[in-house]
């Protein structure tokens, strides 16, 4: 049966005070009686007392000033978050309660008696017909089991005035003067950490390094063919991305996984090569169709140079380069390729940043390393797609002279 309720803070500069709201409630026919909770300090309750005495307020008021415990202390006591304290006898809770009771306001003997006093006044008004029958609202039942959340998000939050990346407002990272780059945003959203500059610069170096490798690779080829079929940028991009896997780009994850596995177990380079041979697997991150010892991949050279100048240490890269000495002694194109270099240096980076081996293994298993190739190569794929659109190239049909046809008459069953 509550008509309304008002909570007033103890601010130095207030909006409304007790008397403002009680006079308004006096005029509200829905309000039959009022309950006032004051506190020690200030004189606002005395304005209510004067209004009752003068007849401005005729409806019953039940009131209690909190802070009566102060009389039991030998020195002044401050109460509450607002710093309420009595600066004169009239401002004590006991004095206010006595003055309100003298004016005809219903004041209980103690705070514990407040419910009984409310029930008493309600009973009188109910008997007098001032208050009719009140149907109690149906209260919401507290659920026994917390409702399951469909999603959990620990990297960003869009509920406030501005969305955040791992706690950083977008405006604090987006524009050049903030000093944040793409590497910083990746470290926040992918790993929930603010990486040092040498690490974020490495992440950006990786993305720039893998952005494109010409139109002949499978992903770019697919994207170009789809664009020439008249499909949109997104559809064309997806066809290129779908070719990324163990034979194209996906070697980054496997290179990090297997080289780290060998290094963690103290294998020598020769033992690692023998282990992979027994497993029946090629060494991911080793080998290139075109590049070789005599024709080095400048992308790999750039990554190794950056690591030598900025990484605190590169133990896994050092191990991989020892493996490369053995593989290239057999065939000069069995070099450490760009995928292997990226994955191996990523492990060295995470180790230098203080991640545990279990955390690093988790990143690898989740596909975080291949994700760098996906983001970087998307830039190149989109470039090829826009190139096809700009040139207005027609539908692609593969030349028949580039296909070996070997079609025999089908056997009859």
Q: pLDDT per residue over 192-213, tens digit each?
A: 999 999 999 999 999 999 999 9
The rounded percent of the chain whose pLDDT value lies above 90 is: 77
Question: Which pLDDT band, with edges at 50, 70 and 90, does 78 fall under?
Answer: low
Question: Which pLDDT band, with edges at 50, 70 and 90, does 377 fall under?
Answer: very high
Reported as a single tens digit per residue, the pLDDT across 47-57 is 999 999 999 99
Asked, for residue 4, whether it belongs to a domain, the answer is: no
Asked if 198 and 314 sit in the same domain, the reply is no
Lowest mean pLDDT among 176-190, 203-217, 279-293: 279-293
Is the Cβ–Cβ distance between 284 and 258 less than 8 Å? yes
* Residue with tokens 């290179």, as numbered in its chain: 255
Asked, for residue 12, whether it belongs to a domain, the answer is: no
Lowest mean pLDDT among 81-85, 101-105, 130-134, 207-211: 81-85
Question: Which pLDDT band, with edges at 50, 70 and 90, does 73 fall under?
Answer: low
Asked if 292 and 198 sit in the same domain, the reply is no
Asked if 161 and 303 sit in the same domain, the reply is no
pLDDT value at 77 more than 60: no
Looking from the CA of 404 toward its CB, the CA atoms found within 13 Å total 1
Residues labelled catalytic: 81
Is the Cβ–Cβ distance between 96 and 45 less than 8 Å? yes
Asked, for residue 146, whether it belongs to a domain, the answer is: no
Asked if 171 and 244 sit in the same domain, the reply is no
Domain ranges, residue 170: 156-209
CA distance 373 to 375: 6
Query: Does the model's pTM come out above 0.85?
Result: no
Asked if 299 and 362 sit in the same domain, the reply is yes
User: What CATH number should be reported for the domain holding residue 39?
Assistant: 3.40.50.261
pLDDT value at 117 more than 80: yes
pLDDT of amino acid 138: 75
Asked if 388 and 250 sit in the same domain, the reply is yes
Asked if 218 and 194 sit in the same domain, the reply is no
pLDDT value at 84 more than 60: no
Asked, for residue 72, whether it belongs to a domain, the answer is: yes
Number of domains in the chain: 3
Asked, for residue 143, whether it belongs to a domain, the answer is: no
């Amino acid at each position: 049966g509550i008509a309304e309720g008002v909570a007033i803070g103890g601010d130095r500069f207030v909006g409304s005070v007790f008397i403002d709201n009680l006079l308004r409630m006096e005029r509200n026919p829905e309000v039959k009686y009022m309950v006032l909770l004051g506190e020690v300090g200030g004189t606002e309750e005395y304005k209510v007392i004067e209004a009752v005495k003068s007849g401005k307020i005729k409806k019953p008021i039940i009131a209690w000033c909190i802070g009566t415990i102060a009389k039991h202390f030998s020195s002044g006591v401050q109460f509450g978050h607002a710093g309420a304290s009595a600066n004169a006898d009239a401002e004590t809770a006991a004095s206010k309660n006595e003055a309100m009771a003298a004016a005809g306001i219903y004041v209980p003997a103690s705070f514990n008696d407040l419910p009984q006093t409310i029930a008493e006044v309600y009973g009188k008004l109910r008997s007098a017909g001032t208050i009719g029958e009140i149907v109690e609202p149906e209260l919401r039942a507290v659920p026994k089991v917390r409702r399951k959340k469909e999603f959990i998000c620990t990297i960003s939050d869009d509920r406030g005035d501005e969305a955040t990346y791992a706690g950083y407002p977008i405006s604090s990272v987006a524009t050049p003067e903030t000093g944040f780059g793409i590497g910083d945003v990746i470290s926040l959203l992918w790993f929930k950490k603010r990486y040092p500059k040498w690490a974020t610069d490495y992440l950006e170096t990786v993305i720039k390094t893998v952005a494109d490798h010409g139109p002949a690779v499978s992903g770019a080829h697919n994207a170009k063919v789809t664009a020439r079929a008249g499909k949109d940028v997104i559809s064309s991009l997806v066809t290129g991305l779908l070719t990324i896997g163990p034979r194209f780009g996906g070697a980054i994850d496997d290179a990090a996984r297997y080289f780290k596995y060998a290094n963690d177990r103290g294998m020598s380079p020769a033992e690692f090569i023998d282990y992979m041979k027994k497993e029946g697997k090629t060494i991911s991150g080793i080998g290139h169709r075109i590049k070789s010892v005599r024709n080095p991949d400048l992308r790999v050279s750039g990554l190794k140079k950056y690591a030598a100048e900025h990484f605190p240490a590169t133990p896994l890269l050092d191990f991989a380069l020892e493996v490369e000495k053995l593989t290239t002694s057999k065939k000069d194109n069995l070099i450490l390729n760009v995928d292997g270099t990226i994955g191996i240096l990523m492990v060295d980076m995470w180790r230098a940043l203080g991640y545990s081996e279990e955390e690093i293994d988790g990143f690898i298993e989740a596909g975080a390393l291949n994700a760098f190739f996906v983001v970087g190569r998307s830039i190149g794929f989109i470039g090829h797609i826009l190139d096809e659109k700009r040139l207005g190239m027609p539908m692609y049909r593969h030349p028949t002279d580039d296909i070996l046809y070997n079609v025999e008459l089908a056997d009859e069953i």
